[in-house]
């Protein structure tokens, strides 16, 4: 469906008809230097926090394709990681598919993420020893889908991103753009209600990037898609943009 038509359809729905599948309220995210909580030399212990997000709120309804824009270091990736439950906020609340995940254990967040979220990262995070098809099928193993169905669904997704003839190649035999397309196919294979992407088109040429976005837009019709990007061609195709500057929203929410 064309962007304009979709935007009108969404506007004409009432709030109660379209569920807010993703929400964060007043989230603050601070990192210690070293970020992962690793040991710090005593001299560095004082004043070592970086406030990456400073009171950000956002709600995304099903059917919406939302872009997150902002300068480098403004907190875009951090927000995507929080919405995916890969991080828990220093303060504030994150809800995924109606569940408050802010204080859930890592295991529970992982379970909710697996059920609800497809993720595409800046670096593709494919397993180097597996074929493209096995990489795409991987999330289905955890879901208990039969081997035959896994292969079929993975192959179907690879065809949709234009890589049907590369199904048996390993990531090392694929270009950066092809690996990115494998990563996008893997994010879609479980048919998740929420798709989160961090700079998904960085490695893609204009035409391939545009084709991939066509798939994503089709996919977003009754789901949530959030994309963090510097790419105007991507942001132009979203329903709305959220702008971050220094960890705060700089648009009119
Ligand atoms: N693991 C970490 N440990 C410490 N600081 C971090 C960590 N991750 C991000 N930061 C800091 O948090 C701030 C926001 O980073 P983030 O990666 O979210 O920004 P971004 O908008 O995605 O940037 P880019 O567009 O360059 O990818 C930056 O100041 C960054 O240096």
| Interface predicted TM-score (ipTM) of this complex, two decimals | 0.98
Q: Are 50 and 90 in contact (CB under 8 A)?
A: no
Nearest Cα to Cα of residue 181 among 159, 151, 196, 150: 159
Helix (H, G, I), strand (E, B), or coil: what is residue 245? Answer: strand
Domain count, the chain: 1
Tens digit of pLDDT for each residue in 113-133? 999 999 998 776 899 999 999
pLDDT at residue 33, rounded to an integer: 64
Give me ligand 1 centre to Cα 63, in Å: 28
Whether residue 213 is contained in a domain is answered as: yes
Q: Tell me the C-alpha distance between 196 and 187, whole Å.
A: 9
Q: Give the residue whose CA is nearest to atom 13 of ligand 1.
A: 52
Whether residue 83 is contained in a domain is answered as: yes
Ligand 1: lining residues by beta carbon, under 6 Å: 31, 35, 50, 52, 70, 72-78
Tens digit of pLDDT for each residue in 50-61? 899 999 999 999
**Percentage of the chain surpassing pLDDT 70?**
86
What is the CATH number for 187? 3.40.50.300
Whether residue 240 is contained in a domain is answered as: yes
Whether residue 151 is contained in a domain is answered as: no
Mean confidence (pLDDT) of the chain: 85
State pTM to two decimals.
Answer: 0.86
Tens digit of pLDDT for each residue in 64-98? 999 999 999 999 999 999 999 999 999 999 999 88
Whether residue 30 is contained in a domain is answered as: yes
């Amino acid at each position: 469906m064309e962007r304009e038509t979709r935007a009108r359809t969404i506007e004409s729905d009432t709030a109660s008809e379209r569920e807010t599948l993703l929400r964060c309220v007043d989230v603050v995210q601070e990192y210690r230097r070293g970020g992962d909580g690793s040991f710090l030399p005593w001299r560095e212990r004082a004043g070592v926090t970086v406030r990456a997000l400073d009171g950000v709120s956002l709600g995304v309804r099903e059917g919406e394709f939302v872009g997150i824009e902002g300068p480098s270091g403004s907190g875009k990736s951090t927000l995507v990681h929080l919405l995916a439950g890969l991080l828990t906020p220093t303060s504030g609340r994150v809800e995924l598919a109606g569940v408050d995940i802010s204080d859930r254990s890592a295991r529970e967040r992982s379970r909710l993420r697996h059920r609800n979220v497809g993720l595409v990262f800046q670096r593709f995070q494919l397993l180097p020893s597996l074929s493209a098809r096995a990489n795409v099928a991987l999330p289905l193993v955890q879901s208990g889908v039969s081997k035959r169905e896994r292969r079929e669904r993975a192959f179907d997704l690879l065809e949709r991103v234009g890589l049907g003839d590369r199904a048996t190649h390993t990531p090392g035999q694929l270009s950066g753009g092809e690996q990115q397309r494998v990563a996008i196919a893997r994010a879609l294979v479980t048919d998740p209600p929420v798709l989160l992407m961090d700079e998904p088109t960085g490695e893609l040429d204009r035409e391939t990037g545009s084709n991939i976005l066509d798939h994503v837009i089709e996919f977003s019709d009754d789901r949530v898609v959030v994309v963090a990007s510097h790419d105007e061609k991507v942001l132009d195709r979203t329903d709305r943009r959220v702008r971050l500057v220094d960890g705060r929203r700089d648009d009119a929410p």
